[in-house]
């Protein structure tokens, strides 16, 4: 599917308005969000991934929403830098922090039931599939999500109490 330069420019202006609305007009990365949205849109259009060619606006809007959410997750995960460009100084070496974190996690896991500990370790550390874990624990497949959720909640409660 081919688009004229005028159509792409019209898409860019509408995306720019949408990105500024959701990210703020002073966000320095608005142009990057718009550029990434257009790149993904044109790639999907050229690969024939659009199901309904009459709803180009809705398809473009969905892509833009995804890019904005990814941008926000990126901001949330990355450490914040100070104005002078230097990150916050650490009081201890990163290796010591990792060691303390591992000890806290091990202590929290030790307080869980054997089933909860197995489910969490198998799913997150050993990266076993849901089917493998259910087979080993003897858990029905439709109950796995509930068991995983409850195990995470129990671990989270124990871990927070330790802090």
Q: What tokens were used for 150?
A: 């409850």
The whole-number pLDDT of residue 138 equals 92
Break the chain into its structural domains and give their ranges. Answer: 5-77, 94-162
Residue among 106, 108, 146, 110 at smallest CA distance from 137: 146
**Two structure tokens written together for 25:** 């007009």
> CB–CB of 123/133 below 8 Å?
yes
Residue-level pLDDT at 26: 83
pTM passes above 0.75: no
Place of tokens 């990365």: 29
Identical topology for domains 5-77 and 94-162: no
Report how far residue 32's alpha carbon sits from residue 67's, in angstroms, rounded to the nearest whole number: 10
Class of domain 5-77: mainly alpha
pLDDT score of 27: 84
pLDDT values of the chain reduced to their tens digit, one per residue, 163 residues: 678 889 889 999 999 999 999 988 888 889 999 999 999 999 988 888 888 878 888 999 999 999 999 998 888 877 665 555 555 555 666 777 788 888 888 888 899 999 999 999 999 888 899 999 999 999 998 999 999 999 999 999 998 887 7
Cα–Cα distance measured from residue 116 to residue 133, given in angstroms and rounded to the nearest whole number = 11
pLDDT score for 15 = 92
> Under CATH, to which class is 94-162 assigned?
mainly alpha
Res 54: pLDDT: 83
Summarize the chain as % helix, strand, coil (round to 5): 70, 0, 30
Between CA 130 and CA 148 the distance in angstroms is: 10
């Amino acid at each position: 599917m081919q688009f004229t330069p005028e159509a792409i420019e019209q898409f860019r202006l509408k995306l720019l308005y949408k990105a500024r609305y959701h990210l703020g007009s002073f966000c320095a990365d608005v142009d990057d969000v718009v550029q990434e949205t257009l790149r993904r849109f044109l790639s999907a259009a050229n690969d024939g991934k659009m199901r309904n060619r009459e709803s180009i606006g809705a398809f473009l809007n969905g892509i833009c929403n995804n890019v904005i959410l990814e941008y926000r997750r990126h901001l949330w995960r990355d450490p914040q830098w100070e104005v002078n460009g230097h990150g916050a100084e650490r009081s201890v070496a990163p290796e010591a922090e990792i060691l303390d974190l591992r000890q806290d996690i091990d202590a929290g896991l030790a307080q869980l039931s054997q089933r909860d500990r197995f489910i969490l370790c198998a799913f997150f550390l050993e990266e076993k599939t849901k089917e493998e874990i259910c087979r080993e624990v003897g858990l029905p497949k439709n109950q796995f999500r509930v068991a995983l959720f409850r195990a995470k909640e129990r671990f989270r409660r124990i871990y927070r109490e330790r802090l």
